[in-house]
Structure 1
Amino acid sequence: MELLPFGSFSKDGTYFEGDIVREKKPKLMLSGAFQQNNHAKRVQGQLGNDLFEERTMKSVMLDAMLKYNGWAAMSSYLSRTTSRNAVTVNPDDITQSNYAYVGYGFDHQLSYNFPSNYEIIGRYSTQKAGEDIRTLAPNSKQYTVGVTKYIWEHTFKLQSELTFDTLNYFDSRTKNNWYLRFQVEIGI
């Protein structure tokens, strides 16, 4: 379900993050989706490695996007649960296991696109592993700053981001990582 209480975004602006159109009036999108995958045989439902036993997975996704005069703010929530324990064990070799990723996460982003079509962004993301898989997957937090140069609308752009993330493991260990990403995106 998708709601646009202030009317449609210009030039299909709900399909890209930055306010490259520089909306003249505030535009808001609220959306939500629910998915249930019965008897899933893969770790991501239809995708990923095989599970050793079927699981029914339920996912909830909520998004909000606000754009106005070069500013864009977005927030997303995602959660996945399974009908039974998310960990599956190979009945022929109990040392082998696989699991469906369960838990929840948030992603928040704020950006400003200057009239020169340079955009700065800040993003904060957090992910909490479900109790079933807490010993197998860490909780994480990510902090990102970035710059985008739109060359031809959203179709041709250069992007660079610097990300710091923290992984918190069940045994109180913490691991910090830095990532630097540069990409050229050319769409059709």
Structure 2
Amino acid sequence: MDFQKLTGTILLLFMALFWSINASGQSVNYSKFGKGLQFIAADSSFSVQMGLRFQVLYSGGQNLTPEQDWEDQFLIRRSRLKFSGFAYSPKLEYKVELGLSNRDIGGTLSEEQNFASNVILDAVAKWNFAKGWELFVGQTKLPGNRERLISSQQMQFVDRSLLNSRFNIDRDAGLQLHHEHTLGNVLVREITSISSGEGRNITADNAGGYDFTAKIEILPLGAFESSGEYVGSDIYREEKPKLAIAAAYDYNDDASRDRGQLGDYLSDTRDLRTFFADAMFKYKGFSAMAEYAHSQVEGTPVVSYTETGTVEEAFVTGEAFNIQAGYLFKSNWEVAGRFTTYDPTDATMRLPEDQYTLGVSRYIVGHSLKVQGDLTLQDTPAQDNTYQARVQMELAF
């Protein structure tokens, strides 16, 4: 069965399920725009929330010197089908998220690299086994940098930064232990995880060792409105100043892909270590976020050279810094700016890059219905500066 037939079958099955549940009067419908279709069984033994969202993107760019033709495209940047709720008990929650666009599933698949069809983004159960404690089992995002943990539906710009594209640790299958507690008015969270280290939907044996991640997050001014520390923009207009500070460390034993859980498979492995630090601040429509990432390997990151001495295979190592800020007016228009700098390890022969981005957003129904646009200057030494312009519409229900 090809992918399109599989997707259509899934949609038909769930449509039939919801129709039959409604028709038999065995559930209560709590649907609301932006929150998906929500059903709770009459005996409260389970719940289902189904949501669909997509992003339509226009992107164009041009080198300045020498001036080249404008190159652009329209595409469906993301298209997602999400299911969540609880099963048996409200203390046992689940989340399933499917990616339907070509960009979601990874484009061309390679059998030699053990790629599965990357339809499944999340498939995780969350067990609240004691007060303040949760155990995650399955595949979901690892507790890495804040920008990656912010949903692609709830971003402040059209897409994430250069820091994220180079160093984020993405999704992986395994176990995560979450703990949350307070010290006076200070909210503290600790997370540890152990996962396969190869990324999502790997069907062959683990090519390297396991991946170990630890993270601590401190909210010294108390909790944000509706978990706003993981939402782009101050969409909830915090009445009091709110601040979140976090640090994370990831150790990928014998990583076989050039970015750990992401990227190309290489002909040799390395122990890959990545450190993240970030902060988020919000107050009355103003928001600011800063992130730092540093990645290194044991020994040299270069795996192989060509006959001419250029790098053929290398792990993505080095450091990056990203800072962004924006103000959301009461009219629900927002203006935001972002600066990102990327400095790769010299041995990899990759070029450093700075990016300057100016963004404008119109939130019609929060992050569920919005239009965003941004303009980015990409500054790379020894290469021509490039401008990139993007406009994107997000629709989610």
Q: TM-score, normalised by structure 2?
A: 0.44
**Contact 1:36–1:56, Cα closer than 8 Å, also in 2:** yes
What's the secondary structure of 1:132's corresponding residue?
helix
1:174 aligns to 2:383 (yes or no): yes
Structure 1, unaligned runs of 5 or more: none
Deviation at 1:47, TM superposition (A): 2.0
Summarize the alignment of residues 9-48 of structure 1 with structure 2, pairs less than 5 Å apart.
9-48=224-263
| Cα deviation 1:131-159 (Å, max 9, x = unaligned) | 221x2x11111111110111112222111
**Contact 1:52–1:97, Cα closer than 8 Å, also in 2:** no
What's the secondary structure of 1:157's corresponding residue?
strand
| Cα deviation 1:17-55 (Å, max 9, x = unaligned) | 200111100000001110000101111112211111101
Question: Which of 220, 226, 231 lines up with 1:5 in the alignment?
Answer: 220
Moved over 4 A (4+): 93-96
1:78 aligns to 2:287 (yes or no): no
1:184 aligns to 2:397 (yes or no): no
**Contact 1:149–1:159, Cα closer than 8 Å, also in 2:** yes
Question: Which of 363, 366, 376 lines up with 1:150 in the alignment?
Answer: 363
**Structure 1: which amino acid aligns with 2:366?**
E
Summarize the alignment of residues 84-123 of structure 1 with structure 2, pairs less than 5 Å apart.
84-89=299-304, 97-123=312-338
**Structure 1: which amino acid aligns with 2:262?**
L
What's the secondary structure of 1:24's corresponding residue?
coil
Structure (1 or 2) with the greater strand fraction: 1
Indicate how the Cα distance of structure 1 residues 94 and 40 shifts in structure 2: closer, same or farther if over 3 A, else same: farther
Deviation at 1:94, TM superposition (A): 5.7
**Contact 1:16–1:154, Cα closer than 8 Å, also in 2:** no
What's the secondary structure of 2:380's corresponding residue?
strand
1:52 aligns to 2:267 (yes or no): yes
**Structure 2: which amino acid aligns with 1:153?**
G
What's the secondary structure of 2:226's corresponding residue?
helix
Structure 2, unaligned runs of 5 or more: 1-215
What's the secondary structure of 2:300's corresponding residue?
coil
What's the secondary structure of 1:174's corresponding residue?
coil
- Equivalent-residue separation in structure 2 for 1:65 and 1:114 (angstroms): 19
> Cα RMSD (Å) of the superposition?
1.6
- Equivalent-residue separation in structure 2 for 1:152 and 1:94 (angstroms): 56
Partner of 2:38: none
Question: Which of 344, 353, 356 lines up with 1:129 in the alignment?
Answer: 344
**Structure 1: which amino acid aligns with 2:374?**
E
- Equivalent-residue separation in structure 2 for 1:58 and 1:6 (angstroms): 31
**Contact 1:89–1:97, Cα closer than 8 Å, also in 2:** yes
Deviation at 1:110, TM superposition (A): 1.0
**Contact 1:124–1:144, Cα closer than 8 Å, also in 2:** yes
- Equivalent-residue separation in structure 2 for 1:54 and 1:94 (angstroms): 21
What's the secondary structure of 2:236's corresponding residue?
coil
What's the secondary structure of 2:313's corresponding residue?
strand
Pick the structure with greater CA Rg: 2
Question: Which of 161, 178, 182 lines up with 2:374 in the alignment?
Answer: 161
Give % identity. Answer: 35
- Equivalent-residue separation in structure 2 for 1:54 and 1:179 (angstroms): 35
- Equivalent-residue separation in structure 2 for 1:52 and 1:187 (angstroms): 41
- Equivalent-residue separation in structure 1 for 2:312 and 2:267 (angstroms): 7
Bigger shift: residues 153-162 or 52-61: 153-162
Structure (1 or 2) with the greater helix fraction: 2
